[in-house]
Amino acid sequence: MQAQCALVVDAGFSFTHALPFFDGQLLGGGVRRINLGGKALTNYFKELVSYRCAQQHPVVFLGNFSLSEMLRHHKESQLTRAGQN
Q: Which amino acid is at 82?
A: A
Q: Read off the pLDDT band of 13 (50, 70, 90).
A: confident
Do the bridges between strand 5-11 and strand 16-22 make them parallel or antiparallel, or are there none, so unpaired?
antiparallel
Give the span between the Cα atoms of 4 and 67, in whole angstroms: 42
Q: Read off the pLDDT band of 29 (50, 70, 90).
A: very high
- Tens of pLDDT, residue by residue over 40-81, are 887 887 777 766 655 555 555 455 556 667 667 767 776 655
Radius of gyration of the chain (CA): 18
Q: Where are the domains of the chain?
A: 1-36, 38-85
* Confidence at residue 59, expressed as pLDDT on a 0 to 100 scale: 53
Give the span between the Cα atoms of 67 and 60, in whole angstroms: 5
Give the span between the Cα atoms of 13 and 56, in whole angstroms: 25
* Confidence at residue 84, expressed as pLDDT on a 0 to 100 scale: 58
How much is the pTM?
A: 0.53
